[in-house]
Amino acid sequence: VGPLLTHKAFPRSPLVECVRGNQKTCIYRPEVVLFCRLPLPRLEDTMRRYLRTQRALLNVEAYRRTERICSSFEHGEGQLLHNELLAYDKANQHTSYVAAFWLDMYLKRRDSLIITNIGIDAELTAGSQLVCATNLIVSLGPLHRSLKTGLLTPAYSHTFKIKLTHHNFLDRSGSRPKSVLICMSPLNRFFGTSRIPQESRDELQTILGTRHFVVLHKGYIYTCNLLDNLGYILPASTIMANLHHILSDSRPPVQFPLASLTAERRDVWARLRKQLQAQGHGSALSLIESALFCLCLDHQDLKKDSKKMFFGSGGDRWFDKSVQIIVGKDGVAGFQADHSWCDGMISMYIINSLTEVCWWHICAGSAIFVNCSFYLFNLQTLSASASFCHLEFQHYGANFLKGCGVSPDSIMQLALQLAFTRMYGHHAVMVAPCSTSTFLDGRTEALRPATTEALKCCTAFCVESLIHGSHRTAVLRQLIEATSQQHKILVSEAATGQGFERHLFVLHCLALHNSQQYLTDIPEFFLDPAYLLQNRNDIASSHVAKSENQVGVFLPHVPKGLTSSYCIRDTSAYSKTLELSLKEIGDVLADKHSETNVLVDCKD
């Protein structure tokens, strides 16, 4: 299925040029921009790419079995599901074929939101907690106004200069653009949105016209106005006075904070929420859920501690809110968002954009009070089971790698795989997201960095007897370059909507729906151990945009899993092994580098 409209088909400019003083500013009108629709790959292409990934991970016997299952699926049940998806895509021209299924997947998850939430350890600081919090709150005013008026500062993807070879991305002159606008439709969920816990499936609720935000401090919950009666942001002095009043509250922290319930499993929290409503606390809950956003004023320092930023102390995070602004006692700030509506590209846009107080505390019945202590213990147990570690690798950076003719992203993925292989003695199943936000309602596509080339390279590094003598460095360099080239192909396919993961994901959703509605059997393809194994990722990584102080934080979805946002989030032993792997790869590349007498800066 081709795109509905290409960038060459704009009937009018998506950007409005405004003059403010002596400066010209481009403003983005979401209702004017006509984005390309996310293309639906051909089934045969998806199966070919899927088998390419499986070939790297399976032995000969298992691969032949998977190959047979794929062939049967492609020419049988898979084709029927694909035709059903084609019809669905044609009937929903206003969005992408994956958007509704992807949102539904998140809302149906029954584990704690902590597992899927996005955290950005931005380490924004303004000297004091009060000043930093005030500045952040005031900075959200223009964004709220922009969304209300339909005028946004445009956000571009600058990382696809080589990757965008698909015809969708040709500009009006017929050449590839240096940057591409990203779809900002998810920002409609930024203000006034909450995940409402329900049994079986949550509800994503957005309340328009809200003027207040909620503040969590020491387990107490407060409300403050951000906007006046006309919808304009209140003076910074008023907002600061309100926050000062909250920070001056001398009461000790709440022993069993209600907010800890939002970290529980969704079905459990849904039942407890109904009990709270039955006890007369429905209006108080509605006040939190309708708030523009949540401000978390921690009573502990956050600098260089991503774990505290992510988990808090148990009672100072309301995980149901779409957006939480977190400010530590030391004035260091972070950001957390519900992943159901927000992906990494939008998170970074938000970070870069960044009355009389009516406080109250819900006094629940004795049963709820006892439950709070139990679920606070569960949250603390989950926090204790997660290890966070920063690795600042100083030996070389992106400029050095680009000078060597290899992709920095591919080297990072190779190092993650190499470190895992050395630690555990076997190769890791890996996944990394690639944004498709340059398409209408695009979310992400999954990259599978554990390619045949990457695993062959890892084996060569780990088993010195395979390659020895004076040729070892040259052979390793060739393997690294081959890994980089294959990684570039994967990124190019994913960025242009030609990956296979999301296509198979939606086909699986359709198969499950048909199985429940028509009592049909689930295709053998989705029961294949190889398919199930690929969805249990040993390493999940994410590339955070260039920044001096912003670090992404997210948790593994499987026990003993690893996550990385190019700073490893697990044990220090793994970080040390990763550092060794990066240095070893750099030594191999540096040998070629010195041969060509290319002088580059070895750091970013």
**b/e burial code for range 409-428 (CB count within 10 A of at least 16 → b):** bbbbbbbbbbbbbbbeeebb
Quote the CA–CA distance of 326 and 307 in Å, as a whole number.
13
Q: What are the tokens at 276?
A: 């709270």
Q: Nearest Cα to 152, choosing from 181, 175, 123, 192? A: 181
Q: What are the tokens at 59?
A: 């032995």
Q: What are the tokens at 167?
A: 């015809």
- CA count, 13 A, side-chain hemisphere, 49: 26
Left if phi > 0, otherwise alpha if psi is -120 to 50, otherwise beta: which for 218?
A: left
CB count in 10 Å sphere of residue 441: 22
Residue 87: partners with Cβ closer than 8 Å, 6 or more residues away? none
Q: What are the tokens at 57?
A: 């991970």
Identity of the residue numbered 591: D
Give me the sign of the Cα torsion angle 319, 555, 431, 348: positive
Rounded to the nearest 5 degrees, what angle is found at the Cα of 561, between the Cα atoms of 559 and 564?
150
Rg (CA), the chain: 25
Quote the CA–CA distance of 140 and 417 in Å, as a whole number.
40
Order across the sheet with 220-225: list the strands: 358-360, 220-225, 212-217, 294-297, 323-327, 332-337, 118-125, 551-553
339 is catalytic: yes
Beta carbons of 49 and 493 less than 8 angstroms apart: yes
Which strand (E) or helix (H) includes residue 433?
A: strand 430-435
Q: Which of 245, 299, 339, 557 is the catalytic position?
A: 339
- 542 SS3 class: coil
Active site residues: 339
